Structure 1
Amino acid sequence: MAPQRNVSAWRPRVPGVVEVFHAHFTEYAYPMHVHEAWTLLIVDDGAVRYDLDRHEHGTPHDTVSLLPPHVPHNGSPVGPRGFRKRVLYLDTTHLGDELIGAAVDGPDLRDPVLRRRVGQVHTALTLPGDELEAESRLTLIGERLRAHLRPRLAVGAPRRDPALARRVRELLDERLPRGVTLDEASSLVQAHPAHLVRAFSGAYGIAPHQYLMSRRVDRARRLLLAGRRPAEVAAETGFYDQAHLTRHFRRLMGVTPGRYGRGISRGRLGTSSEAG
C-alpha cells in the first residue's frame, strides 16, 4: 500500500489557538523537532509512538497527549495502518510555561471527559459561526489540563454565582444578532472565562453558546412564520450563513428552516430531508 499523507490545517478565529491540524499518515515518521506552542493531540484511529525528553510514550485512541513547547519530540505510527490524529496548537493563554515540567513528566492523560471535550472543540472549529462554542469548551479544557498538571491546586465543586449568570444572560440577550466572544464577555462582566461558563451552566443548565444559539433559532422561527426567506433570516439573526442557520435549526426543531416556514404557515409540519 502506498504511503498516505492526507492533511488539513488552518488558523481559526478563536483566541489562544495558533493552529488546527488534522492528518492521516500511514508510513510517515516525524523526525525530532520542537514547537513554540503547546501541542494537544488526540488519535482517532491507530496509535502514535513518540520520544519526549528521551522517554518513549504512546497515544492510544482513549488518551489525550499534551506536548509542551520548546521540548524536542518525534512521532511514528505503531502499526501498518498508520494513524489519524487531530491536533490543537495552543499559545500560553490557557497553559503557561510554568507547567512545562509537569507536562514533560506526564504527557499522556487517560481522561475520558477531557478526550470527549477535545473532540467537541475540533467539531466546533470545523463549523463556521461556532467560535463561541469552541472558546467555551476550550476554556474548560484548559482548566481540566491545569488540574492534571497541578493536582494539588485543582478546584472542587464550582461555586454558584447567580448574579454573574444573570449578567451573562443579559449580555447574550443584548448581543443576540451580533454575538460576543468569550474574552469580550469576560471583560464586560469582569469574571474569569472558566468561572463565567461554569456559573452560567450551573444556573441555567445550558452552556452560554447553547443559550445564544437557541435564542437565535427562536427569533428565526418568528421571522420564518412572517414569510421571510431563510437566507434573510440567517443574516438578521446572527448566523454565519444559511447553512449555519439550517444546522442549528434542524438540531433544535427537527426540520429545516424552509420546511418549518412553509409547513407551519399551512398548519401542517412534517419531517423532510430537503435543504433549508
Structure 2
Amino acid sequence: MHDADMGHPSSTEHSTIQALPFFGGVEMLRARYVTQRFSRHFHEGYAVGYIEQGAMRFRYMGESMVASKGQINLVIPGESHDGHTAEENGWTYRMFYLPPEAILEAARAVSPKASLPHFRMGVIEDRQLADCICQTHTLLEQDNIASIEKETRLLWLLAHWISRHADQRPHWHNPGNEHKAVNRARDFIQSEYGHDTSLTELAQQVGLSPFHLVRVFQKQMGVTPHDYLTQVRAERVRERLMGKDRLADIAADCGFSDQAHMSRSFKRHTGVTPGRYRKILQNS
C-alpha cells in the first residue's frame, strides 16, 4: 500500500492505493479530495465505490451526477467521466478498480452463462450494498487476513452488486452437488493449512471456478472454505498446545501472521486464549 502523489500541498487531501493479486489484478483506493479536479478520462475496467463523507460531482453518460455520503458511484469500461467536489469540504471515498476478468468471474458465479454486465446507472442508492463495499474494502486493507477470505469476500460483493443492479440481472442458479471436488478441497486444506493458500489456487486444485467452489463447499460442509481453514488451524493449534513448543512457533507453523493473530482466532473458536488453554491442560 502506498500514498499516491496528490500534486497539492494541502494536508487535508490524501490518497492510498493498494494492489491485490486477485482475478487479473484488483486495485483499491481510499482518498479524501477537496480541490482535486479529475479531467475527463476512462478506465479499461470497472470502478465501484462508496462515498464515506461529502459529495462528488461527475459528468457521466451525458449527465451531471452527484454521489453523496452513503451512496455508491460506479463507471463501466471505456465510458469517459470527470470528477470534482460537490461540496466545500470535498469528499472521501473507497473505490475498487476491477479488471473485466473479475467481473466476468463474479457474473458467472451467479449464472454460468452470464456475459459481462452493463450498468446504466452511475449512482446507486443501496444501503446494504454500500455497507458491504465499505466492510469488504476495510477487510482487504488488512495484512493479517487470509488470502482465501479476501478473495471470497470480494467475489461475494461483486456477485451481489451484479445480481442487484446490472441492467440484465442474472438469476442465482442452484450450485448443485460436487462431492468429489469438495472432498478434495477439504483434504487440500487439511494438508496445506500452514500456507496462505488463495481461493483461486484451491479452486484450480479441484477443477472448479473459485466462487462455484465456495457455494458447493458451503452447501456440503455448512461452512465456506475459509471458515473450514480457520477451524482446521484452531484444531492444529490445540494439538500443539499439548506440547512445549513456543506460542510464536506454533503461530508461524499454523499459518498465522503472528502470535496475536493466532490468539484472537483461537479465542473466537474456543473461548480462551492459547496461553490460557495451555495452563488449563497443565493444571489438569
Aligned AA for 2:243? A
Matched, 1:236 2:253: yes
Matched, 1:227 2:244: yes
Q: Specify the SS of the correspondent of 1:248.
A: helix
How far apart, in 2, do the equivalents of 1:160 and 1:236 lie? 35
Contact kept in structure 2, 1:6 and 1:23, CA below 8 Å: yes
**Which of 165, 168, 176 does residue 151 from structure 1 map onto?**
168
The alpha carbon displacement at 1:113 in A equals: 4.3
Aligned to 1:84: 92
Q: Specify the SS of the correspondent of 1:58.
A: strand
Contact kept in structure 1, 2:54 and 2:87, CA below 8 Å: yes
**Which of 215, 221, 227 does residue 232 from structure 2 map onto?**
215
Aligned AA for 2:200? D
Aligned to 1:200: 217
**Given the superposition, is the C-alpha separation of residues 247 and 79 from structure 1 closer, same or farther in structure 2, using an over 3 Å criterion?**
farther
Contact kept in structure 1, 2:23 and 2:102, CA below 8 Å: no
Aligned to 1:120: 135
Of stretches 86-95 and 235-244 in structure 1, the one that deviates more from structure 2 is 235-244
Q: Specify the SS of the correspondent of 1:32.
A: strand
The alpha carbon displacement at 1:134 in A equals: 1.2
The alpha carbon displacement at 1:194 in A equals: 1.8
Of stretches 194-203 and 72-81 in structure 1, the one that deviates more from structure 2 is 72-81
**Given the superposition, is the C-alpha separation of residues 264 and 7 from structure 1 closer, same or farther in structure 2, using an over 3 Å criterion?**
farther
Aligned to 1:95: 103
Contact kept in structure 2, 1:4 and 1:27, CA below 8 Å: no
Q: Specify the SS of the correspondent of 2:261.
A: helix
For these two proteins, the number of residue pairs brought into alignment is 262
Aligned to 2:4: none
Aligned AA for 2:207? Q
Contact kept in structure 2, 1:124 and 1:131, CA below 8 Å: no
Matched, 1:245 2:262: yes
The alpha carbon displacement at 1:41 in A equals: 0.9
Of stretches 242-251 and 133-142 in structure 1, the one that deviates more from structure 2 is 242-251
How far apart, in 2, do the equivalents of 1:244 and 1:133 lie? 15
The alpha carbon displacement at 1:197 in A equals: 1.0
TM-score by length of 2: 0.79
**Given the superposition, is the C-alpha separation of residues 172 and 21 from structure 1 closer, same or farther in structure 2, using an over 3 Å criterion?**
same
Matched, 1:68 2:83: no
How far apart, in 1, do the equivalents of 2:202 and 2:65 lie? 39
TM-score by length of 1: 0.81
Matched, 1:135 2:143: no
How far apart, in 2, do the equivalents of 1:223 and 1:95 lie? 41
Q: Specify the SS of the correspondent of 1:40.
A: strand
How far apart, in 2, do the equivalents of 1:264 and 1:111 lie? 50
Aligned to 1:4: 12
**Given the superposition, is the C-alpha separation of residues 248 and 24 from structure 1 closer, same or farther in structure 2, using an over 3 Å criterion?**
farther
Which runs of 5 or more structure 1 residues have no equivalent in the other structure? 268-276
Contact kept in structure 2, 1:234 and 1:242, CA below 8 Å: yes
How far apart, in 1, do the equivalents of 2:264 and 2:219 lie? 26
Contact kept in structure 2, 1:3 and 1:25, CA below 8 Å: no
Of stretches 239-248 and 34-43 in structure 1, the one that deviates more from structure 2 is 239-248
**Given the superposition, is the C-alpha separation of residues 260 and 52 from structure 1 closer, same or farther in structure 2, using an over 3 Å criterion?**
farther
Which runs of 5 or more structure 2 residues have no equivalent in the other structure? 1-9, 105-114
Matched, 1:21 2:29: yes
Q: Specify the SS of the correspondent of 1:30.
A: strand
Q: Percent identity?
A: 27
Of stretches 13-22 and 128-137 in structure 1, the one that deviates more from structure 2 is 13-22
Deviations along 1:215-265, one digit per CA (max 9) or x if unpaired, are 112211221342322210111111233343234234434454344434553
Q: Specify the SS of the correspondent of 2:101.
A: coil
Deviations along 1:44-64, one digit per CA (max 9) or x if unpaired, are 223322221221223334433
**Given the superposition, is the C-alpha separation of residues 176 and 61 from structure 1 closer, same or farther in structure 2, using an over 3 Å criterion?**
same
